[in-house]
Amino acid sequence: MVTTAPTPLEEKLLALAGSVPDPELPVLTLAELGVLRGVRLTSPGRVEVQLTPTYTGCPAIEAMSADIERVLHDNGVAQVEVRTVLSPPWTTDAITPEGRRKLAAFGIAPPRPTGPADGPVPVALAIRCPHCGSTDTTLLSRFSSTACKALRRCESCREPFDHFKEL
């Protein structure tokens, strides 16, 4: 974690890195997904970026790192080092309100606020269909097109949709 307050330059670089779109959910930026932990100028022309994975095995992390490096290079940073940090673990609560709105507009039901990690995973609470808004939806599979999503079906409009499941 960044221990001292960021300088104006670091804040500008953080905003640049944060504007990179997620490789699998391009409607979201990395800042909206909440995976960017900090940007630090370690010496002139040398920047360290801290990035946290959504899921331990998320293959998108390598594309994210490459995209961040490219954007910062294009903006005049000579050396960029992207470090993956695990602690504290990412949670879907880190997705910003704007990120949630964009997910729903994209057809993916956003995650609900999380409970404790232990105990049964709360799948029975109402999840709203991103197409018609109905809360009458059922779970088809706990795992969908990516590890972070579950597959559901709306019983009102009969459309299947992805739900960004709580983590």
Partner 1 sequence: MTNLTRTPALALGDDALILSHRLGEWAGHAPVLEEEVALANIALDLLGQARILLSLAGDEDELAYLREERQFCNVQLVEQPNGDFAHTIARQLYFSLYQQLLFDHLATGGSELAPLAAKAVKETAYHRDHAEQWTLRLGDGTDESHTRMQRGLDALWRFTGELFEPVDALDAPWQTLRDEWTTRLTTVLERATLTVPQGPQHGAWTAGAGRQGLHTEPFGRMLAEMQHLHRSHPGATW
Query: Restricting to residues 63-102, which ones interact with partner 1 according to CB under 8 A?
Result: 86-91
Residues 10, 73: Cα–Cα separation, whole Å: 14
By C-beta, is 1 or 5 nearer to partner 1? 1
Q: Quick count: other Cβ atoms within 10 Å of Cβ 15?
A: 13
Between 101 and 142, CB nearer to partner 1: 142
CB of 87 to partner 1, least distance (A): 4
Q: Are 47 and 40 in contact (CB under 8 A)?
A: yes
Which residue intervals of the chain are DSSP H helices? 8-18, 30-33, 60-74, 97-105
Kindly indicate which of the ranges 12-20, 42-50, 98-106, 117-125 contains the residues binding partner 1, using the contact rule CB under 8 A: 117-125
Tallying the residues shown for the chain, one arrives at 167
Per CB under 8 A, the list member of 121, 135, 136, 156 interacting with partner 1 is 121
- Whole-number minimum distance, CB 73 to partner 1, in Å? 23
Distance CA 39, CA 37 (A): 7
160 binds partner 1 (CB under 8 A): no
Cβ-based nearer residue to partner 1, 84 or 134: 84
CA atoms within 13 A on the CB side of 5: 2
Name the amino acid, one letter, at 93: D
Residues 31-70 that bind partner 1 (CB under 8 A): 53, 55-59
62, 75, 140, 158: which one contacts partner 1 (CB under 8 A)? 140
∠ CA 137-143-147, rounded to 5°:
125
Contact residues toward partner 1 (CB under 8 A) are 53, 55-59, 86-91, 117-118, 120-121, 123, 140-147, 151, 165, 167
